[in-house]
Chain A
Amino acid sequence: MTGVHWHDAPLRAEEVKAELVSALESMPAQSHELVDKLVTEDRAVPRLVLTGQYSSGKSTLISALTDGTASVYIDSDIATDSVTEYEWDGSVVLVDTPGVQAGVERHDEIADDAIAAADLVLFTVTVDLFDDALRDHFVHVSDVLGKRAQMVVVLTKSGTMRAVEDVRREAISSTIQGSPTPTLVLCDAQDYLRGLEHPNPDVGVSYMRSSGINELREALNQFADATGAVAMLRQPFQLMKSVAVEAESLLTEDPDERAALTVLARLRQALSDG
């Protein structure tokens, strides 16, 4: 689990559902009908679109966010040339777009469509900060495509260069000023991945901690919370909880059924927490 609700909640819901179904099936026959009630509506899979500076480490960022589970080809010379979608365990779609680079006039309609359809846009900029082309692209995404309220600005590769406290935040804030102000997260996906694989777990943790990836995940969750997405993610759990309570009432004090009751109680507890 990566800590990103968008991703974790649906997966956890599937696991809990499987457990609940098997519990219900082991119970008296009248409980079996309850399984039919566990049908949840198909929820639209949220789309996280990455855009920003050409070769600003978007692909590496995808690897880090997904703990390396979404496989992305990364090369320092060749980067994504057209829009690429990565399915993240079936619960989130991550969309990588080519990005802009100074000196190259390109209006990519496919990328624009992808950005317009995004539930959240991760706008990436490196420690080298904005250049003219990237600033124009930001204005395009924010004002022309109207995604300002659905943006998180991600400063990537933060671990490659020392910077005086807040210099970067100030530089970026002054470029993207406007209302609402997108959340800004500084992170280094490469450091996070390096930490994941570090031979010394303690050092690995320090890499991951300073990488800022968890802050990025937290920013994504806050966004999901603020936009009501979390409420939607809770729905399946609430449904399962009510089914579990109903199943409980069907059970007697029969010792044979005690086991099932215990399972249900545990599940209900888990669902309440969720």
Chain B
Amino acid sequence: MVQSDSSTRTVIPARSASPPQASEFVSQWREQMFGTTCPDGDRQGRPRGAGIEDFQGETGAVRAHLLDTCQRGRTGSEPVNREISEGLERVWLEQERQADAALGADDSTVFRIVLMGRTMSGKSTLFEALTGGDGQRRGDGRQRYTRDVCVKRLDNYPHVELVDTPGVGALDDPGDFALAFEEVPRADLILWVAANDSIQEQTARAIRLLAFMGKPIVIVLNCRMDLNHPGKLADFLADPQFVFADSAGHVQAISRHLAQSGTAAQGFVAVHAEAAWQSHRAPGTSDRLMECSRVSDLETAIRTELEKHREQRTLHRMVDSVRGPVLDANAATMQAAASLNVIAEVELEVSKDLRNRLLRRVDEYQERLGNSNARIIAKRRSWHLSDAADPEGAVEKEWKREGKRLVAEVEKSFDEEGRALLVELDTISGRVADEWKEHGFRTRNLHDLTGLDGAKWNLAAKLGISMLLGAANYFAPAAVGAMIGAVGGPPGVAIGAALGFLVGVATVWLNTGVTTWLDHVWPGHSSRVQQRRNEIGKQLSTLLDDSLDAANKAAKQNAGAVRKQIRKWYRGRKRSNQRARAAAHSWEADVAATREAIRKLDTRTVQEVLRICGRGRLADGVIAATRVPGVACVAAMHERAFTEATLFPAEGLTEPLGVAAAPDESITATSSVLLLLGLTRCGFTVNRLTPASAQLELHEEDLPEQALRYWESAISSLVDPSGAATIRITATTADVGR
């Protein structure tokens, strides 16, 4: 069966719909292995579906994870990440509410069928026809006639609840859409009612969203024709075929939309809802009207569904009502963590950049003060030779006056440089913020953040979460202003004043006059004048040197104080950054834990489904399983169970099952081939197969992209829950055998 070419490619041919006839050898081997030709020997080993009640415990465990995450999220909010935390919390609370609502309504004894569809498609007429109602809910030709959700038990099936919902797509829809979709998690089966009119894109989106939610859908095409016209009624009763004539085109269109979401409808039924309803109140033509309405086809579809899949549907509904919200919360959490990490990364770089630029400016401040100090001092180096320093004049007075002038000049220069520094620190902060706002995030490919697929993102968007926006808005002026505040107004630093200088030296100039040592040189006269000037010069020189030192020291102290503030601010940024990363990390850890819980739940679910289908021994052989609700499930099995599952595939499963053997209880990407074999009958080419990655190319062009992604996701989460394995499934028309 399997052909290999000269390269590493292996081609697996397409398989027929029915399993191939086992050869005699295989039959004998079967008997040898299992002692019977019927693999269902342990059918009686456990009553079918007995485990459904147990699942309340299982779903409760998954829900507990959600609550834990929620709780932690609430306490761990960092101010810097507030926007993200709050957005995430909204999602968590919404998901928690949904899970609670679903659990609250959980009743494993009831099968819930939910009628959904575009406004005026005839849902309520069908509802009244199926429940034998009084017609109160039937519309009168206006939109949004049905505004509420109505639940009734079916007469013939007391354990079946039929739920009528408001239609989607009406003018200025004030929330009917949300009200209708609230019912989906609690549904065992959706009847999508469509009128025989071309499908509007808005309605198509609702269908695709519904398909994403993994619920089984039966399409009910309500072929409308007003029976109040006597000619029409007669024609309809004579041969209703013309009313249903163009059903195929509509069915194809709806199928296409479902396929885009990777699913297919459980069935299609074309009915005339109005005829069915009128049959209850038209004694003469009652039976014929009912017959022509073809509602019996729908009843047959529902009955078949009940007989074949009731237990599985109920089990899946109970599990998925919790699993879905938890997964949505998980996806949002991953998105939030990714956003937060990007913000943290960018923010740290911005902070570092800003710190460096601010420090450079402080260096410049100190240098400029140094130059200015030197200039001020240098001007006075030859003061002792000036007229003012005439030893015979009022030298003492002049000395003090000069001292005052010097102090004033130094003070002025400190004041000016200090003011300039403050202004420029502000400017630099603003400039850095602008630069990063422009380019910082753009270079980081925020678009590439993974985690949410289209439908989930819709949900997140609906809940008002705007994490990416949060990232882009991070550098709003307010945030920058806060940083500037920290740098510009450090408490206790009088950046404009030469404090050290004033305290250290200026007092000497002002208080210690020249008189004391001038007294010593007084006795001599002209010959001594020069000597006195020299003495003054010497004293002056020392004093000027000391003054320069003191002024520079003051500049250094001032600069140091500002540097300290900047560094303190930066350390603060770093700490908050670490806290942000830690929060993101803890969110990721929560997600991982929740994933593990979901994996356990999936394993239990698949085991239970196998038991429901009478394959208890297979169920016991399942080591691990993952599901994509309504689309597929894959399972790793003990070798013996795997052999049994391959020879006698489980039948009647509502989700196709792919199986692989895991001899030592572990499974790698190499199992992808076996798993995919269980999910599709298409042939495919194995382009690459290693324990860490698999590339499989299906020989089919028209497979919807979403189905491939679902299969990838089911397989890769089974192979490696951490998502490290790369499973890539593509679809092209391969030139088989080349």
Contacts and interface: CB of A to CB of B under 8 A. Distances in A.
Main secondary structure of the interface of A (DSSP, over half): loop
B232 interface: yes
Contacts of A128: 118-120, 143, 195, 197
A161 B226 contact: yes
A160 B225 contact: yes
A128 B117 CA distance: 12
A75 B250 CA distance: 10
A162 B228 contact: yes
B204 interface: yes
Interface string B92-128: 0000000000000000000000000011100000000
Contacts of B195: 128, 160
| Residue among A101, A162, A167 with most chain B CB within 10 A | A162
B198 A76 contact: yes
A84 B564 CA distance: 76
B212 to A, nearest CB: 16
B235 interface: yes
Main secondary structure of the interface of B (DSSP, over half): loop
Nearest to B242: A194
A168 interface: yes
B171 interface: yes
B225 A103 contact: no
Contacts of B230: 206
A171 interface: yes
A123 interface: no
B224 interface: yes
A129 B202 contact: no
Interface string A121-142: 0000011111111010000000
Contacts of B225: 159-160
B252 interface: yes
Q: How many A residues are at the interface, by size bracket?
A: 35 or more
B169 interface: yes
B106 to A, nearest CB: 34
A203 B226 contact: no
A157 interface: yes
Nearest to A99: B198
A161 B228 CA distance: 9
Interface in B167-182: 169-173
B141 A130 contact: no
A135 B195 CA distance: 21
Contact of B198 (A54, A132, A160, A171): A54
A157 B225 CA distance: 9
A104 B253 CA distance: 16
Given A127-B120, A161-B224, A133 B197 contact: no
| Residue among B229, B231, B274 with most chain A CB within 10 A | B231
Contacts of B142: 129, 163, 167-168, 171
Interface string B183-219: 0000000000001111011111100000000000000
Given A76-B196, A128-B197, A203 B235 contact: yes
A194 B201 CA distance: 29
A136 to B, nearest CB: 10
Given A76-B246, A171-B142, A131 B202 contact: yes
Contacts of B205: 103
B143 A129 contact: yes
Contacts of A203: 231, 234-235
B104 to A, nearest CB: 33
A203 B234 CA distance: 10
Given A131-B171, A160-B224, A171 B143 contact: yes
B140 interface: yes
A79 interface: yes
Contacts of B226: 159-162
Interface in A155-200: 157, 159-164, 167-168, 171, 175, 191, 194
B169 A75 contact: no
A127 B226 CA distance: 11
A77 interface: yes
Interface residues of B, number: 40
Contacts of A175: 171
B737 interface: no
Given A102-B200, A103-B200, A103-B205, A162 B274 contact: yes
A210 B228 CA distance: 11
Contact of B202 (A75, A101, A162): A101
B249 interface: yes
B250 A103 contact: no
Contacts of B118: 128
A6 interface: no
Nearest to B256: A77
A194 B234 CA distance: 14
A77 B250 contact: yes
Contacts of A133: 200, 202
A98 to B, nearest CB: 12
Interface string A17-60: 00000000000000000000000000000000000011100000
Interface in B239-260: 242, 246, 249-250, 252-253
Contact of B172 (A132, A162, A163, A168): A132
B170 A131 contact: yes
A164 B172 CA distance: 22
Contacts of A163: 140-142
A237 interface: no
Interface of A: 53-55, 75-79, 101-104, 126-133, 135, 157, 159-164, 167-168, 171, 175, 191, 194, 203, 206-207, 210
25 contacts: A77-B253, A79-B198, A101-B202, A102-B200, A103-B200, A126-B197, A128-B197, A129-B171, A133-B200, A157-B197, A159-B232, A161-B141, A161-B274, A162-B141, A162-B226, A162-B274, A164-B141, A167-B140, A167-B142, A168-B142, A203-B235, A206-B229, A206-B230, A207-B231, A207-B232
